[in-house]
Structure 1
Amino acid sequence: MRIDDDERRCQLMFTSKDVARLAGVSQSTVSYVMTGKRPISEETRKRVQAAIDLLSYQPNAGAQALASSRTRVIGLVVPVGGDLGNTGVVPFLETITQCAREADHDVLLVTADEGASGLTRLDGRSLCDAIVMMVIAARDERIPVIPSLRVPVVLIGIPDDPSGLHCVDIDFTQAGRLAVQELAGTGHQRIVVIGHPPHTIARGNSFVGQFQRGVNEAAAAAGIRTGLVQLPESTPSGARVVVDEALSGAEPADGLIVPHTSAIPHVLGALLQRGMVPGRDISVVGHCTDSAAEEMDPAVTNVSHAPREISRRAMRTLFALLDDEGGNPPPHGVELVPSRLTRRKTTVTTLRP
């Protein structure tokens, strides 16, 4: 029986040594081209890639792991429950996965409800080379476990005490300040914050207090008072409850701040049901991504949230820790991604008396 060249090639088990021989380079150069861990000239890279393509070479993940004592897997601890999946976790997952793949790593998802035991399981069974943790509580019970782990850990979020940790997040305190400054700067005097729903408060997420701290600081600097009404649930009916509360009394709100992304369209709808047009009769500032703000009707003045930039910076820190071969890892600390405010259609710039 005749076997053609393609079938014969499929039966062969080519190695990096074969790639190196065909390309006329060393095995280490082949490794550097595939991992990107060393700068390689474009001419050499093309020659190696041509040899890889010709041989249909695929590195054996198991052999790589044994040779390097690495799994080439990143453990990603993701939140569960509530409406987190609808309010911004997906961009984090997409970007983290993309960054991992670009560095020839895979991602293993672990749900945050496993708590500290989930971290020790990942580490103890050598399931991954590093861990990214998302949505950090102010007093997160997982934090004390981190120093005992053998693998580096990067947090997306900031606990009350970030000492000895690598943390990356949006500057929520700055975001709260920017929201108040936008309203105070356009003459608003009665600002109400639509607080997060109970399930977010119950988790003790650190960003809730950080955002409110920024609101309070900016209000004090502007010499105005702000109120806080708690959202019972992120639904149209829940939004109607808080809008009614914010607009009741002798001094109804003339500006609303909504830091909970999924609640923003419900708040806009509740205002319209009362015959109030956002941007004409009352101002609304949301904390959400620019793309989400632009897609709402009307387009919402927003303080930016940047999940993809946060994720890229977190992965940059993580790979700097993994690739540290000279004993000079990046220092522990907090890296804050600055927010910015974009005025759209929901800011009243000329208030009626």
Structure 2
Amino acid sequence: MVTSRDVARAAGVSQSTVSYVMSGRRPISAETRRRVEAAIEQLTYQPNAGARALASQRTQVIGLVVPFAPGVDTTGLLPFIETIASCARAADHDVLLVTADEGSAGLERLAGRSLCDAIVMMDIEADDARIPVASALRVPVILIGVPDDSAGLHCVDLDFPLAGRMAVDELAGIGHDRIVVVGHPAEVVKRDVNFVRRFHRGAADAADARRVALHVVAPVPPDRAGIEAVVEQVLAVGGDRPGVVVPNSQAVQPVLQALLDRGLVPGRDLSLVALWPDVAAEAVTPAVTNVSLEPRDVSRRAMQTLFQLLDPEQEPPSELVQLIAPRLTRRRTTLPPS
């Protein structure tokens, strides 16, 4: 079996240098790194996870708690999971997935059995019963989301209040004096997932500042009949040329289709702004004016913060809450300025 000592001998460096190249914990010159990586490839070296864990008191595993519950947009989870896994592998760590329905017991199992070095939690509720448990664990915990009380845990998320303000400002700026927000499924509203309230707060603040009427249609059933009923409510309260905001990513395409089925074309008969990733907004017809969700930027910042907390030689971020700014991109579903 090839060992790190064999790699060091082939590269002409010390065994500790091989370790630093693989962990990224010390700066190594480009030439030395090249020699070590070439030796690793030549010898097809794979570090022994068990031996490494015993030597370092580390598992080299990151626990990721993901939501798989009613109302959750599982497709929207993929950019988060992919980016978190990619960042972990770049730092020579693996990712262990745990579903959020395990609640606090899942967190205690991860930490209590020494299954991971740190935990990333998603699907954070405004008043989340897992937070007190997470804050008492002996491993670092990062929240993707901002609860009402984070109990001293670091949080990274999109700036949802800013996203709400941007969507309403865009519609008010092109002349809409009546704006309708298409809300979320009943399960999401009932659980009080943190980003829903934060987005609505930002939208309401912008509507007050712009002196426009703001209506929220919720909950939004996920089936076709439910979407049809929601669109009827939107048209009833929105007037002749409503401005529509859809922060519920799962509802964007069904709402768009229901409008088109009625002969109403966003960008001609009304305006529609979605809280949606750019790739999704560009892929439909007509292309949707969107406030971007930035899932990969959020995930990268969360992992950067996590590895700062894991490295005793680095200072943790001074701010407990880090918010990633969204971007608004005008496409074809908004009217020209009046």
The TM-score normalised by the length of structure 2 is 0.96
Distance 1:332 1:350, change over 3 A: closer
Q: Distance in 2 between matches of 1:30 and 1:313?
A: 27
Shift in CA distance, 110/44, structure 1 to aligned 2, threshold 3 Å: same
Q: Give, in whole Å, the separation in 1 of the partners of 2:221 and 2:227.
A: 8
2:61 alignment partner, one of 48, 53, 73 = 73
- Provide the alpha-carbon RMSD of the alignment: 1.6
Matched, 1:303 2:288: no
User: Which of the numbers 2, 5, 8 marks the counterpart of 1:20?
Assistant: 8
Q: Give the AA of the match of 1:71.
A: T
Q: Distance in 2 between matches of 1:136 and 1:250?
A: 32
Matched residues in 2 for 1:189 and 1:24: separation? Answer: 71
AA aligned to 2:43 is L
Contact 1:190 1:252 in 2 (8 A): no
Aligned twin of 2:130: 142
How far residue 323 of structure 1 moved from its aligned partner, in angstroms, is 1.4
Q: Distance in 1 between matches of 2:303 and 2:38?
A: 29
SS in 2 for 1:247: helix
Q: 1:347 and 2:334 equivalent?
A: yes
- Secondary structure, aligned partner of 1:187: coil
- Amino-acid identity (%): 60
**TM-score calculated relative to the size of structure 1:** 0.92
Q: Which runs of 5+ in 1 are unaligned?
A: 1-12
After superposition, the C-alpha distances for 1:96-151 in whole angstroms (9 at most, x for unaligned) are 01111111111000110111111111111000000000110000000011221010
The alignment partner of 2:312 has SS state of coil
The 3-state SS of whatever aligns with 2:236 is: coil
Residues 1:63 and 2:51 aligned together: yes
Q: Residue 123 in 1 paired to residue 111 in 2?
A: yes
Cα distance, 1:15–1:67 mapped onto 2, change above 3 Å: same
Instruction: Name the structure 1 match of 2:84.
Output: 96
Q: Distance in 2 between matches of 1:143 and 1:72?
A: 24
- 1:188·1:254 contact (CA, 8 Å) conserved in 2? yes
Tell me the distance in 1 between the aligned counterparts of 2:98 and 2:238.
50
1:244 aligns with 2:228: no
- Tell me the residue number matched to 2:37: 49
Matching residue within 264, 267, 270 for 1:282: 270
Residue 216 of structure 1: aligned partner: 204
1:88 partner SS: helix
**Counterpart residue number, 1:337:** 324
Aligned-partner residue type, residue 29 of structure 2? S
Post-superposition Cα deviations, 1:228-265, rounded to whole Å, max 9, x if no partner, equal 11143123322211111121269456111100111011
Is the Cα–Cα contact under 8 Å of residues 137 and 203 in structure 1 kept in the other structure?
A: yes
| Partner residue, 1:7 | none
* Structure 2: runs of 5 or more not aligned: none
Q: Which amino acid aligns with 1:189?
A: D
Query: Residue type matched to 2:96 in 1?
Result: L
- State whether structure 2 residue 25 is matched by structure 1 residue 37: yes
